[in-house]
Structure 1
Amino acid sequence: MLPSAQVNRLVDRVGAGPVACAITLAQGMTDHVTTQIPQLGVDGLVQELRKGCEAVALSIVAALAENAEVVPEPPAEALTGAVETAGRAVGIEHLLQSVQLVHAYAVRELLDEAERHLPASDRFAAVAHVWEVLFAIVNQLYAEMTREFSRAHAAWVTSSAAVRMELVQDVLDGKPVAADHAHRVLGYDLTRRHTALVVWADDLEQADPGRLAGCAEQLLRAGGATGTLILPVGRQRVWAWGSSVRGASVTPPTSTGTPLSGIRVAVGLPASGVEGFALSHHQALDAVRVGMLSRTDRWLFDYAELDVIAMLSTRLDEARRFVRRELGGLAGSGEPATTLRTTLKCYLDTERSLNATAELLHVARNTVAYRIQRAEQLRGGRSRSGGCTFRLRWRSRRSSATSC
């Protein structure tokens, strides 16, 4: 969740082992909090929660690993959640409760680690240091988070965006909303055919709501939208919809376009009416979940390509087993396997044309033939059977998920 450069700097300081422990600790913190406070487990908030937990966990582990003096200043990433919740009907009490839950979870896990790995003679000093580190960070988190939330909430309740977001949330929750009333409030016709986008920035430095909204507007207009609705969701994310007055579907952006520096985009399938407005948005959120898990530099996550993976990603262990079972050795993470998957996808997308694949990938026809043969070998030769050939053909547009 945190920028890789930031994580890598800490790896250089304290080593990969402590950093890996911090990432695991952060995931546990996040799962624990969202189980106890479901209001924080929704799009836009759960990602900020995870990012904040990672920042806190890395600060804790760094202080413990370096036996450093504690600087009672919470990481900036741990405070962004307070801004994000201001417009999402989540009270400050939930934020403060989340800090308590994170504190309790971290104490329990770190004390368990001390008991497992330290001799009895060293445990008292270790426990004292753990308490010192956690108390300093948590104490400041309470004060800073309360201050950030109060400032953001005061600005939010006086904005027109608050009224629009409340109505949109009613639509997304399936509550009855009169289309003519929605049109007056939103300036957007819910009876049309909609394509939903979610545009977000992974890095706080790129978190400019105006820039994200401009990106969403540009992509929707380029796809033929004559009407757009764009709502900021905190500082690092916007929700957007586009529709055409002619009733035609807005063409979603394609990954062949110019990559957007520091910005990622998820897109749902076009769908009609009030129900379609909500459906396309929920599909875009599913694509966001895949995007947040991605370790690649891709910027576009289209539900049309990622629907199966989006469904499987709700059970990540099962999804990984599915990929390994279907692709065998072709599921490897190295560059050779990635090249073979890319070639195979292109080959299937071009109706198994060696010449078309060679032209698109700018390689020789014999190179394509060799790669396809090698891909079959890595999969255990299963693509030779009729049944698996059909499955590969059916899954060709989804095979990009193996590189997510």
Structure 2
Amino acid sequence: MNSGPSSWLDRLSPRDPAAVDDSLLPPGVLTGLVEEVGPRAVAWAVELGQGMAARILEELPTLAVEGVVQEIRTGCESVAVGALATVAGGQPPAWVAAQLLQGPAELVGRGIGMEEMLRSIQVAQSFAARAAVAAVQDVVPEPERFAQTRWVLDLIFGAAEQAAAALSREFAQAQKAWLTSSSAVRQELVREIVAGEPVTPSRSSRTLGYDLSRQHTALILWVEAEEADPRELPRLAEDLLRAQGCTASLVLPVGRRRVWAWGSGLSAPDTTRRDEWPPPPAGVKVAAGLPGRAGVEGFRRSHLEAVEAAAVGERSTSGRRLFRYEDVDVLVLLLQQPELAREFVRRELGALAGPGPATATLRATLKCYLDVERSLTEAAARLQVARNTVSYRVHRAEQLRGLDVAQRRMPLQAALALAAEFDDLVTEGPAT
């Protein structure tokens, strides 16, 4: 009898073989493992990690905040894929601990306690155990199932125990360092302001070193890819705020890979200069609240708008890196209920919501055509194609949708905007 499940790894079957495309792990980690155990086993492990993260966020909604969500997903994926690598090679890869131990600093910086962290490990362990047992039942011959199930459960429970011990030590160290830093006091005050708690503006201004009576613009910047350096975020925030015309700024690190920033001036900023902002560097995304609101409430309101814009940026697959609230406010409203948004896109676009690059090109052309008030000449210039090409694509898009572009134009433009920003809202075939 086999001592472990390495003999049946190639029989693992993910629900979505393309789950690897949505992985937050470095591509090199997955590429090497795919060569060793095959793409389906790797996709199964990535899917398991994504399921663990989703269950954690479902049972512990206090963790579902910008920045922390990404750390949870990365940690769960690294554990699941690392377990697969352990089964295949016998030793846990070094990158598992490296990925996993990045989480506590993010949690401490966001005011999340150790109890929630340990509870999340329990939730993930329970989910992984059920999924692994189900997989064994599916792919292992009946005479071997008991032994293989026990082997896998021992692996899962042992890994959870080790993770809890290592993360607890890392959390304690991160918390000690955080409590002795000046950022802790300022961030606690900022959280009170954002939560709408009463504060004394003059005392708060002295504590923050930032005048709350002025007019404010809020930013959130975060690193999304390994090639970007989180240490550059404060400087980038200062540059963007100066480009907005701000004469004073407050920049606070939030965890390891994110900063909150505010800029202010004595008068309302020149909003026309927002179109001149330099694009963020590769691997960095920026969200901005509306500018120009004064006082403590303006400080708070602009930040909350930046949080909403950042939520769009976190999910966006469009490739853009700057998300200003005034540009995405409609998307924020439409995404309040994602399942309804998905059905709305499919219902409005019909077969135009189908997969593949050809259909995506038709959607992009139709969106551009409507954005320029149905001018074939202007759309052709923006898309850098012939006028007749735009005409053909628009006609083909109308055929797939089953309606003329003049019918239900406002819902059509909203559906196209959602489809352009979020790939996961575009599904195969029309809704019924």
Q: Which TM bucket (shorter chain)?
A: 0.7 to 0.9
1:104 aligns with 2:104: no
Which of 362, 366, 369 is 1:344 aligned to? Answer: 366
Tell me the secondary structure at the aligned position of residue 191 of structure 1.
coil
Deviation at 1:231, TM superposition (A): 0.9
CA offsets per residue over residues 59-97 of structure 1, 9 Å max, x none? 223444x3x314286432222110112222222232223
Q: 2:15: which partner in 1?
A: none
- 1:284-304: CA deviations, max 9, x gaps? 223323332234432223333
The runs of 5 or more residues in structure 1 that have no matched partner are none
Q: 1:126: Cα distance to partner?
A: 1.8
Q: How does 1:59-138 map to 2 (within 5 A)?
A: 59-64=82-87, 66=88, 68-71=89-92, 74-138=96-160
Task: Provide the aligned C-alpha RMSD in A.
Answer: 2.8
Q: What is the number of residues matched between the two proteins?
A: 399
Structure 1 pair 369/316, CA: closer, same or farther in 2 (3 Å)? Answer: same
Question: Could you say which residue in structure 2 is the equivalent of 1:267?
Answer: 288
Q: 1:237 aligns with which of 237, 252, 258?
A: 258
State the SS of the aligned residue for 1:195: strand
2:74–2:99 Cα contact (<8 Å) kept: yes
TM-score (norm 2): 0.82
Q: Deviations 1:329-384 (Å, cap 9, x if unpaired)?
A: 33334222332233223322322222222222222222222222222222212423
Query: Distance in 2 between the 1:93 and 1:102 partners?
Result: 14
Show the counterpart of 1:188.
Answer: 210
Superposed, 1:265-344 pairs within 5 Å as: 265-270=286-291, 272-273=293-294, 274-344=296-366
Residue in 2 that maps onto 1:401: 421
- Post-superposition CA distance 1:77-129 (Å, at most 9, x none): 22211011222222223222322222222112211222244332121232233
1:46 is matched with which residue: 64, 69, 72?
Answer: 69
- More divergent stretch after superposition (25-34 vs 194-203): 25-34
> Which of 64, 70, 80 is 1:57 aligned to?
80
Which residue of the partner structure matches residue 375 of structure 2? 353
Shift in Å, 1:254: 5.3
Determine the structure 2 residue equivalent to 1:216: 237
For residues 187 and 347 of structure 1, do their structure 2 counterparts lie closer, same or farther at Cα, with a shift above 3 Å needed? farther
Correspondent of 1:23 among 24, 46, 56: 46
Which residue among 149, 169, 176 is the counterpart of 2:171?
149
| AA in 1 matched with 2:257 | Q
1:192 Cα deviation from its structure 2 partner: 3.5
Structure 1 residues 399, 128: CA separation in 2 closer, same or farther (over 3 Å shift)? closer
Once residues 17 and 343 of structure 1 are traced to their aligned partners in structure 2, the CA distance between those partners, rounded to angstroms, is: 35
Return closer, same or farther for 1:254/1:101 CA change in 2, 3 Å cut-off: farther
In 1, the alpha carbon distance for the partners of 2:372 and 2:381 equals: 11
How far apart, CA to CA, are the structure 2 residues paired with 1:339 and 1:255?
28
**Kindly tell me: are residues 311 and 134 of structure 1, through their superposed partners in 2, closer, same or farther at Cα, counting changes over 3 Å?**
farther
What is the match of residue 175 of structure 1? 197
CA distance in 2, matches of 1:42, 1:204: 21
Q: Is the Cα–Cα contact under 8 Å of residues 349 and 396 in structure 1 kept in the other structure?
A: no
Partners of 2:53 and 2:381 lie apart in 1 by 46
Alignment gaps of 5+ in structure 2 = 1-22, 425-432
Higher mean displacement: 262-271 or 78-87: 262-271
> CA offset at residue 239 of structure 1?
1.2
Q: Show the counterpart of 1:14.
A: 37
Identity of aligned residues (%): 43
Give the match's secondary structure for 2:190: helix
- The change in CA–CA distance for 1:33 and 1:247 in structure 2 (over 3 A counts) is same
Q: Which moved more, 1:118-127 or 1:153-162?
A: 118-127
Aligned AA (1:25): L
Paired residue secondary structure (1:86): helix
What SS is found at the alignment partner of 1:238?
Answer: strand
Q: 1:395 to 1:326 in 2, by over 3 A?
A: closer
Asked if structure 1 preserves the Cα contact closer than 8 Å seen for 2:215 and 2:267, the reply is no
1:40–1:397 CA distance, 2 compared to 1 (3 A): closer
- For residues 183 and 151 of structure 1, the distance between their equivalents in structure 2, rounded to whole angstroms, comes to 30
